[in-house]
Amino acid sequence: MRDPYANIAKVDPSVQRKLGESLEIRAADLEMRGIVDAYLAKLNWPDGMEVLEVGCGTGAVTRLLAERPEVKKVTGIDPSRIFVEKARSLNTHPHVEFVVGDGRDLPFSGQAFDMVVFHTVLGHVPAPERFLEEAGRVLRKGGQLVIFDGDYMSRSVAIREHDPLQACVDIMKSSNSQNPWLVRQLPAMLTALSFANVQAEGYSYVGKDPSYMLDYVLRGADRLADAGIVSQEAAAALKAEARQRVRDGRFFGLFPYMSFRAIWG
């Protein structure tokens, strides 16, 4: 299956629900939460902010944004009605709103927000420039654009040469991202779109709690089988090996991420 997030609203509802569970697994991972907290801490937070998260999924990051005392209102938008319904069910913040909509054609007036956030979104979409142009349209002058995404080409779970589990990650690089090189292209892309003061930070996720990365490998094994690259029996063996490494304390994963902050206008 090619990247399901690229056209998520048309994906089978059962698959959408499973992907929603994966988003919440990642959000619950304490190491990932620490990385998210670290990149959010580097932003400017004036009082009374109105924030938009584009591609909010089940709302995990939207909920974190809502916890900031400086934030007056947070809006999360996603094309998946199933994701949005789940986000609404998990939300407990009165100043949060979730909307079904497309990041390429945001249903908001110009200069409506002080900050626009893309959290692991732009690597999944074709023509990310269109999403960034829309972000600029709805940002107020001096508003912050915030991007957090993975460097898919550097992801690894290998613990030895020719490690068979790496194939599970490699297929996710190509099938779970429209552009696995995106983070390496973003600085030039943002400058060309008239964003200023582009700042970048790198983060390494090494999976102290293996639950998120194990889920990633298990989904990769399914992708290998679905693509006919391995048999169902071989996919089951890959999953069994990954689970055994977790039990033995031998599981390793390195998922590099980058955050970007830029100013509009």
Q: Is 254 exposed, middle or buried (0-12, 13-18, 19+ CB in 10 A)?
A: middle
* Domain ranges (residues) in the chain: 4-151+178-207+256-264
Kindly list the strands in the beta sheet with 195-205, ordered across the sheet, starting from the edge strand earlier in the chain.
96-100, 71-78, 49-54, 113-119, 139-150, 255-264, 195-205
CB-based contacts of 9, cutoff 8 Å, min separation 6: 79, 80, 81
Please give the CATH superfamily to which domain 4-151+178-207+256-264 belongs.
Answer: Vaccinia Virus protein VP39 (3.40.50.150)
For the segment 144-196, what is each residue's pLDDT rounded down to a tens digit? 999 999 998 899 999 999 999 999 999 987 666 778 899 999 999 999 999 99
Q: What is the pTM of this model?
A: 0.86
Band (pLDDT 50/70/90 cuts) for residue 222 is: very high
Q: Is the dihedral of CA 78, 22, 130, 137 positive or negative?
A: positive
Contact by Cβ (8 Å): 262, 145: yes
Q: How many of the other CB atoms lie within 10 Å of CB of 241?
A: 18
